Amino acid sequence: MCTGPFARQFAARNQGHGSQKLKVVAPSAGRRRALQAGRRPPAPVLAEEMEPRGRLPLLLRLGLMWPLGAPSEPRLRVFVVPHSHMDVGWLHTVQESMQAYVTNVYNTVVEELTLEKKRRFIAVEQEYFRLWWDGVASDEQKGQVHQLVAEGRLEFVLGGQVMHDEAVTHFDDQILQLTEGHGFLYETLGVWPQFSWQVDSFGASATTPTLFALAGFNAHVISRIDYNMKEAMQYKRELQFVWRGSRSLSAQQEIFTHVLDQFGYCSEGFNWDGKPVFPRQHWDYLYPSMGMPVNEDTVPVHSSSIAINVLARASWFQTAHILWPWGCDREFFNASQQFANMDIIMEYINNNTSEFSFSMEYATLGDYFRAVHSDQVAWQVRDHHDFLPYSSDKYHAWTGFYASRSGLKMLARRASTLLYAGESMFTRYMLLALHPNLDPAWGLQQLQQLRWAVSEVQHHDAITGTHAPKVDDMFVEHLSTGMQGVHTLMASIIQDRSPAHSGPEPGGRLVVVYNPLTWTITTIITLTMDFPSVRVTDVSGHPVPAQVQRSKELPSAYDLQVLTTIPGLSYQHYSIRPSRSSQEDTGETEPSVASTQQFAVRLRRHGRRMGQSLVPVVNDCYIIFLDLDTNLMHSIWERQSNQKVQVTQQFMEYHVNSHFNQDQISDNYVFRPDGRAEPAWEAVRMEIVAGPLVTEIRQYFYREVDDSEPTFTIYSRLAHGPQSSDGELLCHRIEQEYRVGPLELNREAILRTSTDLNTGQVLYSDNNGYQMQRRPYRQDTWNTIAQNYYPMVQSAFIQDRRSRLVLLSEQAHGVSSQGNGQVEVMLHRRLWNSDKWALDNDLTLNGSSVVHQVLWLLMGPWTLTSGLHQRSGLALQHRPVVMLREMNGEVGGPFSAPQKAVMLPSSVHLQILSIPSWKYSSNHTEHLQTLRKDQNREAKADLRRVLLRLQHLYEVDQDPVLSQPVTLNLQSVLRGLGSVVSMEERSLTGTWDVSEMHRWTWSTQNPHRHRGKFNQPSPPLGGPNITIYPKEIRTFFIHFQEQ
């Protein structure tokens, strides 16, 4: 038996029955983000203060937790999981990271795993692996990777292009980035990731466990949850549980979840490969320096540190299996040094297990979870609530990033919606048309480029706005280039389907409008014109309802608003020509010209009587009353229910501190206001632009009375559309567009909507556009305002017994209810502080940008709004795509091209319709044979295989009609695209045949109890008929017949 320092240390500490507190190494998880948040790393944590069994000596407590085995048999088994956390853009661009360290990580890790069979490694971000595989790896290295994967020594976990953020990403985009990564891995290596590794996203969404279960994962790893909650879960040994993320889905969509303990994903003090060299880096103090060299004298010291760490961890978990992530950011670029030192330490501990009471082994995540699963513990079940917001300590609520870099958030969402439309347009075109003038491979390349760009920006340091300006430039460039490519593809499709022939009157425009949704929509499209006198006609030459008004943004231009009704996945075509002469001379119908009524400027005053002089703006669904004493909105009357709710909107700002050493600060991550929000304007001017199609309310807010330009603007539109079922969504919404900025320094701008609803300060906001979460107001001693901010990716609402106010968003924002009947949305941030690290890395938000954002408001009883909520959100997200081209004496042929609509019931959404770029066979055996023969290089994408994903929009019991299961005949539904030959149901990302996907079952303390009526899983696919249940997402390969 060894009598080294560890044994002597424990003997000393156990004297007096544990009266002395056992210290452990200071936790390093979040060290980087702690510094970013304007604070130093936390002080060392005392294990005695965190554990559940009082002051019993640690070894005695461990003996009580697990029965003793044979004297030589270690009671604890430590799984050392080597990894390198590689941010896909944070302080450095992807290209800089590839050059500085990523290439060396894969080169040296593959070499070291090949040299020593006991070693293991997990790889996470597929964007980096793909760049290495396609651009760096030799044939020999690729062969080694194949061998390592086959032997289970190199494991791909998560498998997406990036480790996505979970707070401000839309679930469509989460699925996209997983699909792209999983498709590459399966096509290249024939493997499926089966475990997640979401260890650095800033909070955890309840949507994630549902998506990961559908993707075939067996276990899920998270880390960043509220510090108080993590401490309590450690104390109660509840860091592992079965998570049922959706209240409507069956237990098939639950997943075993492991929360990393307070040490997080970093193994501080055990890194020996130095630091990668970046251009102009300023982070020498950010990470711990290289660990103490490993030699005969220091091995006992290293081993003692590990032992104290391991034994502290052991008291926080229910099994004798300990997960020890080994690595951190940008580590293992010198894997030889790393593995060589760790080999020595682990061998020393394993040769002295009688003293250490545990063994250590290299492992993958799969190795660890197989051991935990084999113990057959009855696990606690967690319901559909999320882990948001994330706070790292009492002062630092990470709720600022919900609105950081708002412009990038907008661009990312618009790129995603363009991709969605481009995918279905291209698919329809390839299936239905001869395409002599368009190369399918080129078309897929344009889509692929945007798929990768949209996937990349979902990274947890990208769409969050927590990156450096040069990295922001990279994201914007990739998105913009991808969007340009898809715009070009769409224009080519329209041109190819539009053989030109002679037509009259050059100088007009052909407008093609495409509806990417699978419902008939009625909406109003807006075109900017240089001239006000125009004629708008449809495909038959009949005049179309339209309205002309002065442009709100370009004084010399005109906004032409056109009413359109378009079936699912179909086009409408319009001709817009200058009028030849007056309407009286020709008898032609011209668009109506809107009239403008201007009102006097009103100053912001306190204690003034309001509501004495109201002006109404009316359509068939709402009456908006405007207060002429204030030029603010006064109330909204929902006509169907005959209910009137007082509603007032104004812009306000939170002021924040800039002195790092004097007080807590707001930054890219953290929201830390100095006090309550204050009005950000002194005067408001209003005008009403009224026409037969649309009435627009324009409110201009001036920071100072004498300002010549407004700092804030609201444009509110109320449509006067037809009262058919197709026009229901158009009538029942108030469209608002905001212009915000430039802000003064250290201001955080919000739009506060105040009502007379008795809400009790309860807010509802969405998880990733998939499901809603109830957010009761929580009092907090240190940081109440910021702790009550939540992400709003697509929607939020407040309500009382009589009415509900719904906000629908085009992009992610922060949202809160800071008072009864109030809801506020954070729109823009401008921040600077004196933190040296932030200044050195230019990690501030000190820009003078102006942002343009869109919200739609719905008002009415919940019986009305619950049916409109989801469909209206999708109508905002996927508005029709408008394409224009000059006529130049030609009229396009699509006027005569036949169209067959693709229509789904109003409770079912076409989540994706695309032709993947994948070249693999969907038969797994055939694909593996192809990989062994290396024939995949010559394969081409199958243009008749379509990826189809359907989503039921409604929760169980949300609506008496729309919440019912829906049965579809896919052959019939898809007839508008061609003849269906066969169908396969697939996993969420398309790589598994669901009949071959056998996920692990985890024992639970309370067996599954479904909350609704529909608890049966969907039956195996035996024909074209499928049934989709509330909140289900089902994915298929559809094979179409050659034309």
Query: Do the beta carbons of residue 109 and residue 121 sit within 8 Å?
Result: yes
Distance between CA atoms of residues 193 and 696, nearest Å: 51
Could you identify the residue written with the tokens 């009005």? 679
Cα separation, 1035 vs 950, in Å, equals 6
Per the CB < 8 A criterion, the answer to whether 673 and 662 are in contact is: no
Nearest residue to 136 via CA among 93, 178, 101: 101
- The whole-angstrom separation of Cα 630 and Cα 701 is 11
Active site residues: 200
In 611-677, where do the E strands start and end?
Answer: 614-618, 622-627, 632-638, 643-655
Name residue, tokens 């068939």.
Answer: 620
Give the phi and the psi of residue 186 in degrees, each rounded to 5. Answer: -70, -45
The C-alpha angle 755, 760, 764, rounded to 5 degrees, equals 80
E strand or H helix at 824: strand 822-830
User: CB count, 10 Å around CB of 73?
Assistant: 11
Pairing of strands 546-550, 592-593: parallel
DSSP code at position 37: T
Please list the residues that pair with 243 across neighbouring strands.
255, 382
Kindly report the number of other CB atoms within 10 A of residue 330's CB atom: 23
End-to-end CA distance of the chain: 78
Determine how many CB atoms are found less than 10 A away from the CB of residue 917.
17
Gyration radius (Cα) of the chain, Å: 30
How many whole angstroms separate alpha carbon 632 and alpha carbon 753? 11
Q: Please give the Cα distance from 725 to 519 (Å, whole number).
A: 11
Paired tokens of 380: 């606690």
- Find the length of the chain: 1043
Strands (E), 6-92: 76-82
Nearest to 652, CA basis, from 683, 678, 625, 621: 678
28 contacts 266 by C-beta, under 8 angstroms: yes
How far apart, in whole angstroms, are the C-alpha atoms of residue 761 and residue 778?
9
Burial class of residue 222, CB neighbours in 10 A (0-12, 13-18, 19+): buried
Cβ atoms of 772 and 799 within 8 Å: the answer is: no
Q: What is the C-alpha separation between 666 and 675, in angstroms, rounded?
A: 12
**∠421-423-427 over CA atoms, to 5°?**
120
Query: Could you write out the DSSP letters of every residue in 290-351?
Result: PPPPPSTTTHHHHHHHHHHHHHHHHTTSSSSEEEEEE--BT--TTHHHHHHHHHHHHHHHHT
DSSP-assigned letters across all residues of 659-674:
-TTTS----SS---BS
Say if residues 821 and 376 touch (Cβ distance below 8 Å). Answer: no
Distance CA 41, CA 39 (A): 7
Residue burial 687-719, b: 16+ Cβ < 10 Å; e: rest: ebbbbebbbbbbbbbbbeeeeeebbbbbbbbbb
* Cα 736 to Cα 717: distance, rounded to the nearest angstrom: 6
Torsion region of 489: left, alpha or beta (phi above 0 gives left; psi -120 to 50 gives alpha): alpha
